[in-house]
Structure 1
Amino acid sequence: MFDGPPPDTVPAPPPPARRGRTLRAAAELIAAGLLPEAARAEAEAVAARYAVAVTPAVRRLMDPADPADPIARQYLPDAAELRTAPGETADPTADAPFTPVKGVVHRYPDRALLKPLLACPVYCRFCFRREAVGPDGGVLSEAELDAALDWFERTPSVREAILTGGDPLMLSPRRLARIVERLSAVPHIEIVRLHSRVPVADPGRVTPALVRALESDRAVFLCVHANHAREFSPEALEALARLRRGGAASLLGQSVLLRGVNDSADALEALFRAMLAARVKPYYLHQLDRAPGTARFEVPIAEGRALLRELRGRVSGLAWPTYVLDSPDGGGKAPLGPDFARFEGGEWRVDAPLRRAAAADAPGPG
């Protein structure tokens, strides 16, 4: 039973830019005008099973007058979450079989995840760890964290430590700094990567102390999760600039392809252009992981491939992410394409983005 985080895990009171209350209960969402009164019972039922949180920054991005608002769709509870579709599982990426010690997932030979906590600033309605994340638990104890970091120290094949969770930027700056320092002192760790929603969902949390916590003599990459161009608000851009000037000089972007949020070429183009304008390189576009109650967000792979194909040549290669599916059996991320070349009639045919089905001046498969 979780009995509260270690004292230095609890963040300090927020700076003025973060004043405001995160909305967690159905009654609060209704009072804020984000849900109708008629949705109270269903929202309460969802919140009883899965964590709900809408930060002031995210609330400001929502348009309550738009029933199809793509920001609201990502965060507001919906009765569909209580229906589990065929193929949906509590561990859709199969983390559990690859957990050598609590808080570590070691799937790939040269990298491993470190999950120091399972709390987030907001809770996405499509989250693949939705059965585990929440605001009241999941922080590794000091002994558990030491055991996890010991594992990294004695596993020389691992060159990259990836902090995820939960959201590692929810840690106090002091505890986050200790983790980064300890990992940076491991001779075989070359890269420290962090995956976070904080810069776009709670940008006021990116304080100078938090930025300093990421300082390291190793390569530090911060992968920012955003799914819609509107998430790159002025406040988010300021937070990303602070991170870029500080410890996390290399910013990457990851997104999930979501029905009703970014399932059009125009929406994806706007998202990737917004990332580049914020100096964030689009890195991954994820096919939805089939967690319980997420079917309403799923876009078929064939449709996702067609959307990416439509974007090729329409946006810079800098804006082109790798479209991937995380194998439900734990096999890792598989690129999904699309393909632009095929061997036909004794030669390679290349569907060039600006001139389709042109014969490439290239030899056959041999």
Structure 2
Amino acid sequence: MPRWERLLKHAITNAAQLAEYFAGDYPALQRVIDRYPLRINSYYLSLIKKPEDPIWKQVVPDERELLDANCMEDPLAEEQYSPVPQIIHRYPDRVLFLVSCQCAVYCRFCTRKRKMGKQHVLTPQAIQDGISYIRFHPEVRDVLISGGDPLLLQDEALCDILAAVRAIPHVEIIRIGTRVPCVLPQRITMRLARMLRKFHPLYVNTHFNHPDEITADAAKACGLLNDAGIPLGCQTVLLKGVNDNPTVMLRLMQKLLAIRVKPYYLHQMDLAKGTGHFRTSITTGLHIMRALNGHVSGMGVPQYVIDLPGGGGKVPLLPEYVVKMKNGTLAVKNREGKIFHYPLE
């Protein structure tokens, strides 16, 4: 059995196991787990330094998950935009293809929390139906393969899916959305990287939320993918108590660049039920973006976005730098609050 499978096999899945590692009484958490399952693999567990630290908060259940009644099961209206099971077609030229139901850890802030830990295996027919949909829709040029986490599939199964998608003439690029390089980097092997490189142009979007997640193992995993010619981007989620601090966010972006991962998005929390305690104000996010500007190179500044509820799609949220436009001149405020003028034409 490969090491990554052993790490998954010994994952924590209930409150009693959690108490074995961290002294305490967690009976109330089992009620949460009964609703939203728990999984913390052995590797990610080793990153927790103490209860309530930024790693703990991302994966250990919280009673507030059951008190969040004002949000939505499906905040992005994914079911509405799903013409066949496993396909979400919200934007004209791209689709989301869900090929896995499992994750290496169950993040407590997941936008697909309604699907968390569903114990069914996708049938070959469900996968084939998704591929057929893509094949018969020539407007689709970009396929984002996600889940769950597609990199929890065995190499052969993932290879079959990628080969089928790559064989479709109008598909120009393939992207994989995965948190594995962060939460189970042992899954990224030389064999996997060599297999993935056969399907260029291929991009991987991963997901780091805190500097403590960038370990030697994570750096090695990202290095294997980069060396296979696979560009890496990071989609970070703005989380209260985890990274809602300019100093923490700046350090995260710096460390991402150091392991050859391009900060791509900083996501404002979706309005998913059971996640409200993670949500920050928009003002907090804009403050962090202003703090990043000028303190890290431009390639280290992600785009701050909100995914509009009801399927409205992603829109950028920008600090207000334009002060006014008057008499042919643009008045612009820089990161220090100083006003500069620039001709409109």
* CA–CA separation in structure 2 for the residues paired with 1:233 and 1:90: 33
* CA–CA separation in structure 1 for the residues paired with 2:94 and 2:139: 8
Structure 2 counterpart of 1:45, which letter? Answer: R
Paired residue for 1:61? 47
Paired residue for 1:140? 122
1:89-238 matches, within 5 Å, as 89-134=72-117, 136-137=119-120, 139-238=121-220
Q: Tell me which moved more, 237-246 or 173-182.
A: 237-246
Verify the 8 A CA contact 2:210 2:248 in the aligned structure 1: yes
Question: Residue 217 of structure 1: CA displacement?
Answer: 4.3
SS in 1 for 2:206: strand
Paired residue for 2:17? 28
Question: Residue 326 of structure 1: CA displacement?
Answer: 0.7
Paired residue for 2:33? 47
Question: Residue 361 of structure 1: CA displacement?
Answer: 3.3
* CA–CA separation in structure 2 for the residues paired with 1:298 and 1:240: 29
Q: Is 1:299 the equivalent of 2:277? A: no
Q: Is 1:318 the equivalent of 2:291? A: no
Q: Deviations over 1:316-343 (max 9, x none)?
A: 1011111111111101101111232232
Structure 2 counterpart of 1:83, which letter? Answer: L
Structure 1 counterpart of 2:341, which letter? Answer: A
SS in 2 for 1:183: helix
Q: Deviations over 1:169-213 (max 9, x none)?
A: 011110100111111111111111011111110111112332233
Q: How many residues of Structure 1 are paired with residues of Structure 2 in the alignment?
A: 343
Paired residue for 1:6? none
Question: Residue 85 of structure 1: CA displacement?
Answer: 3.6
SS in 1 for 2:273: coil
* CA–CA separation in structure 1 for the residues paired with 2:255 and 2:41: 21
SS in 2 for 1:326: strand
Q: What TM-score, normalized to structure 1?
A: 0.90
SS in 2 for 1:147: helix
Structure 1 residue ranges without an equivalent (≥5): 1-12
SS in 1 for 2:197: coil
Distance 1:135 1:200, change over 3 A: farther
* CA–CA separation in structure 1 for the residues paired with 2:318 and 2:78: 24
- Aligned with 1:250 (options 194, 206, 231): 231
Structure 2 residue ranges without an equivalent (≥5): none
* CA–CA separation in structure 1 for the residues paired with 2:29 and 2:196: 37
- Aligned with 1:349 (options 324, 331, 340): 331
* CA–CA separation in structure 2 for the residues paired with 1:18 and 1:234: 19
SS in 2 for 1:214: helix
Structure 1 counterpart of 2:31, which letter? Answer: A
Structure 2 counterpart of 1:312, which letter? Answer: N
Question: Residue 51 of structure 1: CA displacement?
Answer: 1.7
Distance 1:59 1:186, change over 3 A: same
SS in 1 for 2:95: strand
Question: Residue 290 of structure 1: CA displacement?
Answer: 1.3
Verify the 8 A CA contact 1:195 1:223 in the aligned structure 2: yes
Paired residue for 2:63? 79
Structure 1 counterpart of 2:292, which letter? Answer: L
Verify the 8 A CA contact 1:53 1:123 in the aligned structure 2: yes
Distance 1:135 1:203, change over 3 A: farther
Paired residue for 2:268? 287
Distance 1:232 1:135, change over 3 A: farther
* CA–CA separation in structure 1 for the residues paired with 2:38 and 2:294: 39
Paired residue for 2:256? 275
Q: Deviations over 1:260-282 (max 9, x none)?
A: 00001101101111110110000
Distance 1:355 1:287, change over 3 A: closer
Q: What TM-score, normalized to structure 2?
A: 0.95
SS in 2 for 1:223: strand
Verify the 8 A CA contact 2:149 2:178 in the aligned structure 1: yes
Structure 1 counterpart of 2:317, which letter? Answer: L
* CA–CA separation in structure 2 for the residues paired with 1:26 and 1:210: 34
Question: Residue 17 of structure 1: CA displacement?
Answer: 9.6
Verify the 8 A CA contact 2:4 2:187 in the aligned structure 1: no
**Deviating runs (4+, > 3 A) in structure 1?**
16-20
Verify the 8 A CA contact 1:83 1:293 in the aligned structure 2: yes
Verify the 8 A CA contact 2:163 2:199 in the aligned structure 1: no
* CA–CA separation in structure 1 for the residues paired with 2:311 and 2:5: 41
Structure 1 counterpart of 2:221, which letter? Answer: A
